[in-house]
């Protein structure tokens, strides 16, 4: 069964810093990987979706990369702001199984003003 791990579980950075969040998965047979943001007690907001044939996707200050063969993805946030504080989840869509969307456990980011 696919296992998705996110390290670190929590991260605090001062405002303005660039930072990288990591996501690793055990089965490289995937269709895509999606990064989400979740504020406390709220739903998930989709940030970026990378198809298995792609290497990276960019949206504003966010850049997500995918190395399918090594089972890794990173989410790069440039010039972090206090409003970026949230939990970031990655989710991998595998090629096998009826329920084939696997979530990581998340990284809780705090950006200190």
Partner 1 sequence: DTEVTQTPKHLVMGMTNKKSLKCEQHMGHRAMYWYKQKAKKPPELMFVYSYEKLSINESVPSRFSPECPNSSLLNLHLHALQPEDSALYLCASSQGWETNEKLFFGSGTQLSVL
Question: Which residues are near partner 1 by CB under 8 A?
Answer: 31-32, 34, 36, 41-46, 49, 51, 89, 91, 93, 95, 98-101, 103-106
Report, in Å, the least distance between residue 16 CB and partner 1. 28
Q: In terms of CB distance, is 17 or 23 closer to partner 1?
A: 23
> What's the min distance (Å) between Cβ of 73 and partner 1?
15
- Cβ(41)–Cβ(56) below 8 Å: no
Q: Is 102 exposed, middle or buried (0-12, 13-18, 19+ CB in 10 A)?
A: buried
Comparison of 18 and 110: residue with beta carbon closer to partner 1: 110
Q: How far is the CB of 25 from partner 1 (least distance, A)?
A: 13
Closest to 13 measured CA to CA, from 90, 98, 111: 111
Beta bridge partners of 73: 23, 66
């Amino acid at each position: 069964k696919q296992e998705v791990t996110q390290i670190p579980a929590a991260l605090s950075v001062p405002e303005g810093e660039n930072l990288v969040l990591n996501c690793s998965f055990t089965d490289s047979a995937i269709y895509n990987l999606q990064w989400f943001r979740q504020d406390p007690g709220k739903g998930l907001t989709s940030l970026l979706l990378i198809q298995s044939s792609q290497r990276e996707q960019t949206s504003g200050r966010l850049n997500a990369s995918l190395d399918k063969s090594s089972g890794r993805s990173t989410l790069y946030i440039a010039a972090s702001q206090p409003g970026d504080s949230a939990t970031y989840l990655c989710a991998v869509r595998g090629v096998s199984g009826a329920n084939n969307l696997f979530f990581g456990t998340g990284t809780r980011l705090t950006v200190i003003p």
